[in-house]
Structure 1
Amino acid sequence: MINREEAIAKTKTIFNTASDYFDAPALSFWNRFGQQTIERLSLSSGEQVLDVCCGTGASAIPAAVRVGSNGKVLGIDIAESLLELARHKSQQQGLENIEFRYGDFENLGLKDESFDTVVCVFGIFFVPDMVAAVRELWRMVRPGGKLAITSWGKKVFEPANQIFWDAIKAERPDLYKNFTPWDRIADPASLQALLEAGGATQVEVFTEVGTHELACPEDWWTMVLGGGLRGTIDQLDPITKERIRKANIEFLRSNQINSLFVDVLYAIGQK
């Protein structure tokens, strides 16, 4: 198993670096799926919500709007540069019921059963021991409350994602990945089993099969720079990086691809 501290440090570095593109229009899917996670929870006014791996607030900010001035949202992330963006966005919207805090959610030290809802969108799979992570999140859910975990399904920005990795394999086979973190929970049964192994009850998993539209082929490269693939890109020399960028964009342009397949899984457990 991957060393936990190494995994956290690597994820922190990647997303601190990716913050320069994280909120670009080409990455509107963060807000889209964050918003849809919150909509599935039917939050009520006055609820206390914890959002771990909150990024720039894609789910935390909609949650703060839903729970109103009597509610409270705490967003946690290990990438301080993403948290700064989140704070700025929430201030722009005049939200005073939301706080963004740096932290490793496996070691938050928050009280048992202290939140009505705990949310983790596209973050659980970065933790080597996902069962322990779910157990920790579930611990903080009040009786009657909910835990929501959103993850990627089988198709994630295809066919561009496969073209990216084919180009990496051709140029730098040492960086090629046969496996992505979310592969462990990319189908409904695996995701449900994860939540139940972590103690969650009344678990339901919803599958969304959809697409992400590209305004132009270059949008894909912006997505690469603004997400987890940034960690691979930053290990390339400038000339190799440019060759891979051109190969990706040329594939999309020559094949007239203006939308990418993307599957998302929403799991909700109720205590």
Structure 2
Amino acid sequence: GIVSALNIREGMYVMPQTELMTLADPSTVWIQVEVFEQQAGWLAVGQKAEVRAPHTPGAVWAGAVEYIYPDVDPKTRTVRARLRFPNPGERLKFNMFADVTIHAEPRADVLHIPREALIPTGTEQRVMIALGEGRFDARSVETGIESGDRVEIRSGLKEGEQVVTSAQFLLDSESSVRASLKRLTAPPKPEIWTEGVINAVELDTHILNVTHEPIPELKWPTMTMDFPVAKGVKLDGLKPESRRRLRISEGEDGRYQVDAIQAAGTQP
């Protein structure tokens, strides 16, 4: 090998623990690499690797992963690995920087989605599933390895399900995330039906005065009250003292309105 460091001189006294010199064999080099924590699952001892150095454009050296360190750097959140490369011509020099490519083994039958579909909540990863007709479902998922802009999904999704990638969530806290997901995935409210007697029909203001039966869903007793009528519901043909079946819903202003009218005794 080559003496890369000489720590003694003629006439010096040395102790058993004194490092006298450092010998290096440049015919084979070790290269230390750092791999992002989320990509560490790809690493394995024995994987083939290539190295390219800036001072020799076009030159490629072939080697392999020799050792993977067992810890993660707490500052950079990277995993270190040691690669071994033959160095014919000794063109790779000690302490150089280089670009390394590690060829991981391909995996078959991997379920994966775009990374932008993931919504971090602080404690878990979620994905919005498009159910159709403007409905969504928030699903908790377990992620795996990453490759490019794709992320492996180990559990929580099935092949063929549609995930939302175009929605942008401007969220500033975990509680905001949960509130947004709850709003998007809230199940449709059950329909509320009641029967009542029409007391008056105000065509100009689109309001009905109705004496309705008790409505258990709203904890309402029998009452006489005015109901706004939703747009698109026709009032033609309604006469005072006629009995009708009415569907009640909460309007955008928070007031309850009639959004459907049927003959009394019919089923919704």
Per the shorter chain, which TM-score range? under 0.3
Q: Which of 1 and 2 has higher RCO (CA within 8 Å, sep 6+)?
A: 1
User: TM-score, normalised on structure 1?
Assistant: 0.21
Bigger radius of gyration among the two: 2
Q: Which structure dedicates a bigger proportion of its chain to helix?
A: 1
Name the structure where strand makes up a greater proportion of residues.
Answer: 2
